[in-house]
Structure 1
C-alpha cells in the first residue's frame, strides 16, 4: 500500500526490533539469522485499522442483528450495558480485541460509551491492554450517573476528571492510548461539548464523535454549531456522517477532519447511505469500522467488501437512471483495502508509523493465506479482499510481535477464553431479565422524539446571549 514501492509478486518484508527495515523482492532481502514466516500463496498487507468499534459489547455478539437504530440504542443504554458487571466489562473488551486481532485488525478505536462507573472504565482499559492490540481507548463523555456521582453536572465532571487521570497514567508511546469520545452531540448543553473539545485539544487526545448519524433526524447533528463557534478541530474523527449536507461535509474537509464509516450497521439500522463517494469527492479519505459485533460480524474484511460493492451498486444505479448500461467501475479492490488500512491509519493520526508496509514504520503486518482454497488465484489481491474471511488470516503481527500464527491466536488459552465468554454472556442475559422491559414501538418513537427535543434545546443554548434579531437585522 506504499505507492512509492508498488507490489511484489514474490516479495519479502524484513522486521527488526518491531520495525520494518526492508521491503522488496524476496531474492534481494538477505538476513541469515532471521526467523522465516512462509507466505507462499498468500498476500501480505498492512494491519487493518478499525476506526470505530464498541469492544465492550463483544460478549453480546449478534444480540442486535434485527434491530433498527433507536430500538438498538434503547436496549443498549437501558438494558444490556447496565447488566454488564465490572469483570464482564473487562472480559468483553478483551474478547473484542482478540476478535479484531484474529481477523487481521491490528488497531482499533474503541469508542467506550458503555461504562457507568470508574471501575467499568478501568476494566475496559485493562481488557484492551491484556490483548496485545494497538488501540485508542476513547473514553466517552456524558452527563449520566458515574459511580456515586449523580446524573447531570456531577456525573459529567466525574468523567472528565477520570479521563484526565487515565491519560496521566497511560504511556503516550504504548500500544494502548487514551482518547476521548464526545458526549453524544446534543445530549448535553453546548458549553460542555465546547469544554470537551478544548480539553481533548489541550491534552492532544484523539477525539471522536458520532456525528450527523441519522438521516431525517436532528440528533447528533451539530457540525454547523461547532463551525459557528470555532470548534472544528483538525484531525477530529466524525463517525457515520450519513446525514451531512454538502456544506457540512465541506466544513469537515476544510478543517482536516476525518470520517469513519460503519457500512453494515448504517445500512441495517436505518441511519442512511454510507458516505463513501461524498467523502472522496470532498477530499476526505474514508476509513471503515464494524461499529459493534452485537449487530454485525467482527471482521473488517467483510466491511471492506460490503463498502466496495455498495458503492459500486449506487454508481451503477446512477448510470442506469440515465437509461444507459454501466461500462466502468470507479472503485476497485485496492481502494477497499486502502479504506481499511492506510486511510484508517491516517484517521487516527498514525500514517507516519503504520498503515503501509514501508521501511521505518512499525511492523503491523498481516498475511492472508489461500491455503483453504481449492484453486489458485488469478488476482491474489482480489482474492484477499473479496474472497477471504478471518479463517484465512494466517499471521498477524503488531509492532513486530506475532499475535496470530498458522491461523491461530498465540499467547492466550483460547479454549478457556471461550468458556469464560460463554459464562459472561449467560450472566449478562440473566441480569437483563432484571432490567426494564424492552420498549414497544410506541415507546421507541417517543424515545426518538425526546432525543430530538433534547438536541434542539441543548444546541439552542450555543447561541444564548450571542445575537438578537435586532443584531441580525442591523447586520443586513
Structure 2
C-alpha cells in the first residue's frame, strides 16, 4: 500500500507541544493519517504540497459538547430559556424525529462543524427513540468524515419521563449498540454514554447509569450545575458521597457549582465542557471558565445547540474569554478599583479549544496538538483577509477575529475535507434543502403553544 504524503509549507504553526506554546514558521509533513515531521524548510519529492503562506496552521478545534440532531431547527430556541428549551425541543420536537431526520441533522451539523475548523466533536445524542435512530446518527457521523465521540443517550419520546427526576434507567440497548457499531477503538467515530445525571434523574438511576458506562468501558457525560438545579440537587456532592466521581466522568456547564464542587471534580480527575453562549442565554448562570481554571479542572468548549447559537467554536472562544474578563472587571469595579490587567488571556482559551479539549474527551494522546506521531487533524486559517488582516498576533487572530469563512483548509486523519475555502462534501446544497423540508413538516406538527413561541 502506497503512502500518501501531504506537505504543508510556509505557515505560522500555532500549537502546544509538551505544555509549551509554539508560534513560528514551520513546515509539516503528513504521511497517511499521522504527522511525521515538523521543521523548517522540509523538501521531499512525490508529495502533495499545500501552501500555507499568510496562514495560521493550527490543530483542529475540538467541540466537547453538542446535540447535533437539532441542526435542522436553527433559530427555534433563539428566545428560549432552559425550561422552554426542555419543553419545546425535547418535549415537542424530539418525539416527532424519525431516523432520517436524525441522519440529516447529524450530517448537516457535522459538516457545519468541519466547515468552521472543528475536527473533533462530542455528539451528545438524546434522541435515541429506537435502534434505527442510533444507527442513523452513527452513519451520519461516519459519512461526514469528522472525528467524533457518539454519546449514546436516552430516547426523546417524553421529556417528562426522561428528564424530570426520571426513574427510567439508561437503555440497555447501549450494549448492543457498542457491540454492533463500535467493535474497534481505531475508528474516527467512537462511543461514549450520555446520561441524565443527578439533576435530571433519580440519584439511584444516576448511579446505575454510571455503573453501566463503566461496565461498557466508556466515557460518561452528563449535564450539571445548570441554573437552580446546581444548588437544588447538589449532584457533585452526592456522587462523591457514593464514591462515583472519577476521570471517566465529563460534566457539561457547571455554572452554579460551588468552589467545593470544583475541588471535588478536579481532585477526581473529572472534566468539564463549557458552552458559554447558550449558558448566558438560557439562564444556566455565568460561564464557569474562570472557576475551572482556578481549580485546575481540565475543561473544553462546546457549541451545545445551534437552535440558539452559531455552530462555530470561534464565537464560543470569544464569548468565554470576554465574559470571564467582564466577571473579574466587575469585581474590581465593585471594590472601587480599576483592573490593572485582564483576568484571562487568549492563550488560555486557545488551549481549551485544542489540547485541553482533547484532554476533556480523553483523546489527547493522539489529537489536540501538532506533534510528530499524532493524528493529522490540522486546520489552516487565512489571516490575509478582511476581518483578520493585518495580523500582529496569531493568537488573537484565532480567538478574537477568525470566523468559519477564514478557514481555508481542514484535514482530519490525513484526509482533506476542506480546501481553498470549500468543503469537499459535494451535496451540501441538496442536504440543506432536504433538512429544511423535513424540519418544516415537523414544525407544522407542533402544539399551538410552542408554534406561537417560534413565530
Q: CA RMSD in A?
A: 2.6
Mark the CA change 1:142 to 1:428 in structure 2 (over 3 Å): closer, same or farther.
closer
Task: Return the offset for 1:222.
Answer: 1.5
Structure 2 SS opposite 1:7: strand
Written as runs of structure 1 = structure 2, the 5 A alignment for 1:53-452 is 53-141=66-154, 156=168, 160-169=171-180, 170=182, 171-215=184-228, 218=231, 221-373=234-386, 375-432=389-446, 435=447, 437-438=449-450
Partner Cα separation in structure 2 for residue 136 and residue 245 of structure 1: 29
Partner Cα separation in structure 2 for residue 55 and residue 39 of structure 1: 31
Structure 2 SS opposite 1:37: strand
Structure 2 SS opposite 1:9: strand
**Structure 1 length as normaliser, TM-score?**
0.85
Mark the CA change 1:112 to 1:302 in structure 2 (over 3 Å): closer, same or farther.
same
Partner Cα separation in structure 1 for residue 306 and residue 349 of structure 2: 21
Structure 1 SS opposite 2:293: helix
Structure 1, unaligned runs of 5 or more: 442-476
Query: 1:365-421 CA deviation, whole Å, 9 max, x = no partner?
Result: 011112432742122331222111101111111111111111111033122222222
Structure 2 SS opposite 1:10: strand
**Partner residue in 1 for 2:10:** none
Of 25, 37, 56 in structure 2, the residue corresponding to residue 22 of structure 1 is 37
Structure 1 SS opposite 2:209: helix
Contact in 1 for aligned 2:128/2:152 (Cα 8 Å): no
Query: 1:268-318 CA deviation, whole Å, 9 max, x = no partner?
Result: 111101111111111113210010000000000110011011111112222
256-265 vs 168-177, which deviates more?
168-177
Structure 2, unaligned runs of 5 or more: 1-14
Larger fraction in strand: 2
Mark the CA change 1:416 to 1:351 in structure 2 (over 3 Å): closer, same or farther.
same
Task: Return the offset for 1:84.
Answer: 2.1
Partner Cα separation in structure 2 for residue 392 and residue 143 of structure 1: 36
Contact in 2 for aligned 1:145/1:155 (Cα 8 Å): no
Partner Cα separation in structure 1 for residue 65 and residue 163 of structure 2: 26
**Partner residue in 2 for 1:7:** 22
**Partner residue in 2 for 1:455:** none
Task: Return the offset for 1:430.
Answer: 2.0
Equivalenced residue count is 433
Contact in 1 for aligned 2:94/2:156 (Cα 8 Å): no
Mark the CA change 1:174 to 1:320 in structure 2 (over 3 Å): closer, same or farther.
same
Query: 1:102-150 CA deviation, whole Å, 9 max, x = no partner?
Result: 111111111111232222222112111111111111111479679xx99
Query: 1:132-190 CA deviation, whole Å, 9 max, x = no partner?
Result: 111111111479679xx9999x9956x53211111112122111111101124244333
Structure having greater relative contact order (Cα 8 Å, sep ≥ 6): 1
Partner Cα separation in structure 1 for residue 275 and residue 92 of structure 2: 23
399-408 vs 220-229, which deviates more?
220-229
Mark the CA change 1:189 to 1:68 in structure 2 (over 3 Å): closer, same or farther.
closer
Contact in 1 for aligned 2:64/2:300 (Cα 8 Å): yes
Contact in 2 for aligned 1:53/1:109 (Cα 8 Å): yes
Task: Return the offset for 1:73.
Answer: 1.1
Partner Cα separation in structure 1 for residue 227 and residue 162 of structure 2: 29
Partner Cα separation in structure 1 for residue 323 and residue 137 of structure 2: 33
Query: 1:331-359 CA deviation, whole Å, 9 max, x = no partner?
Result: 22221111111111001111110000011
Task: Return the offset for 1:14.
Answer: 0.9
Structure 2 SS opposite 1:183: coil
Task: Return the offset for 1:205.
Answer: 0.6
Mark the CA change 1:183 to 1:249 in structure 2 (over 3 Å): closer, same or farther.
same
Partner Cα separation in structure 2 for residue 320 and residue 155 of structure 1: 46
Contact in 2 for aligned 1:213/1:219 (Cα 8 Å): no
Contact in 1 for aligned 2:193/2:218 (Cα 8 Å): yes
Contact in 1 for aligned 2:231/2:257 (Cα 8 Å): no
Rg bigger for which structure? 1
